[in-house]
Structures are given as structure tokens and as C-alpha cells.
Amino acid sequence: MTLTGWAAGYAEELLAPLGDRWAHVQGVVRQAQDVSAILPAEEREDLVAAAYLHDLGYAPALVETGFHALDGARHLRALGYERLAGLVAYHSGARCEAELRGLTAQLAEFADEASATSMTLTYCDMTTSPAGESSPTRSGWLEWNAVTASSMSLPARCATLAPRSSGLRRSWRDACARSRRPNYAMTGWGRCSR
């Protein structure tokens, strides 16, 4: 079985009973599949597997701290998936949320690779609504922020979307053009100040 196949089945088992959470995860996976071509071929399976697993920490059986990124990462580490654990631990501004929750030291148990793969996972998560629909507009992202991340400031969430290299910005622009979606990288999301 492939890593993605395992991740799909495992995530469905734990998250399908949570309704909209599972719908959101499936939407993030669709986004990941749509934009995975921006990454080197050897990174694509990890991206899609991480998309399936990014919200694993919401599964009631896995909740320890109440911080889903940390709880999911710890579980994945226990299963032997260290890289996926790191991707899940730091997705979508988790560092800021950990600071707000007083869990910075616990999150630091994991490596933040800050790679194109991790940034693309955040992009996929941030452009998927709570119900799993693609939200490639600023208003769709603001709706997601209000529903899912109300405890974190907009600038903090916005800053997580800022591409760290012009090469990644070009890759996002090219992937968006191929999928006939708006040019996410040029919407101004990454220009928010802290």
C-alpha cells in the first residue's frame, strides 16, 4: 500500500465521524492534488498524505492537549511517520497558535522544515472552506479564518501564507494558471504585516 493510500484510509477511519471536519480534509486533499505539480515529484506523495492527516488531532481518541496540530503530530510520530508528524505539527500557522496556547516548547519537539511542501500544505488548508469547498478568494479565506481560527489574528494567519521565495511564488502562479483558478500568490494575502 502507498503512503497516500494508508493516510486516506486512516484519516477516514478517524475523521469521517466528525462530518464537516472530514469534508474539509477531503477538500484539502483535492487542493493538494490540484497543485502538487509545483513540487518535485518525490515530494508530491508526502504532500497529499499530509493533506489527509493534517487535522488528525481533532479525532477524539487522539486529543491530549486540545491543540490538534500537536496531538496529530505526536500520534503520527508514535506510528513512525516522523516527516508527516513535522508537516502536521507546523501546518497553517501552528507556531503562532502554540504560542497563544502556551505550547511552544511542546511544538518544538518537532522539526519545522519550512519547505515548499510545508508551505503548500498550508496553502491547501487555507484555501479550503470548513465544508471542503475550494475558497480561492480572500473572502473565502476570511470565512475560514473566522470559523476555524478565531483565536489567531488575521495578520498572523496571513503571514503563514507568505511565500518565502520568488521561485515558489512563480510555481504557485503557474499551477494556478494550469488549474484556471485565480492567482493566489498575487492576491495580497502574503503582504499582511505582523
3-class SS at 48?
Answer: helix
Q: Is residue 185 in a domain? A: no
Confidence grade of residue 163 (pLDDT, cut at 50, 70, 90): very low
The four Cα atoms 85, 88, 90, 91 give a dihedral, to 10 degrees, of 160
Compute the distance between CA of residue 129 and CA of residue 82 in angstroms, rounded to an integer. 28
Instruction: Output the CA angle 28-75-69, nearest 5 degrees.
Output: 45
Mean pLDDT calculated for residue range 144-151 = 45
Whether the predicted pLDDT of 175 surpasses 80? no
Q: What percent of the chain clears pLDDT 90, i.e. is strictly above it? A: 66
pLDDT at 137: 54
Q: Is residue 9 in a domain? A: yes
Q: At residue 93, what is the residue type? A: G
The string of DSSP letters for 123-166 reads HHHHTB-TTS-B--SHHHHHHHHHHH-TTS-HHHHHHHT--SSH
| Domains of the chain: total | 1
pLDDT digits (tens, 9 = 90+) for 22-59: 999 999 999 999 999 999 999 999 999 999 999 999 99
- Work out the mean pLDDT of the chain and round it to a whole number: 79
Q: Is residue 156 in a domain? A: no
Compute the distance between CA of residue 99 and CA of residue 93 in angstroms, rounded to an integer. 10
pLDDT digits (tens, 9 = 90+) for 91-128: 999 999 999 999 999 999 999 999 999 999 999 999 99
Q: Which domain holds residue 15?
A: 3-136
Q: At residue 145, what is the residue type? A: N
Which cell numbers in the block locate residue 175?
499551477
E strand or H helix at 184: none
Burial of 78 (0-12, 13-18, 19+ CB in 10 A): exposed
Q: Is residue 53 in a domain? A: yes
Whether the predicted pLDDT of 170 surpasses 50? no
Compute the distance between CA of residue 171 and CA of residue 174 in angstroms, rounded to an integer. 5
Q: Where are the alpha helices (DSSP H) in 16-137?
A: 20-35, 41-53, 68-78, 82-89, 94-101, 104-107, 116-126
Q: Is residue 130 in a domain? A: yes
Q: Is residue 27 in a domain? A: yes
Q: Is residue 25 in a domain? A: yes
Which cell numbers in the block locate residue 140?
473565502
Q: Is residue 172 in a domain? A: no
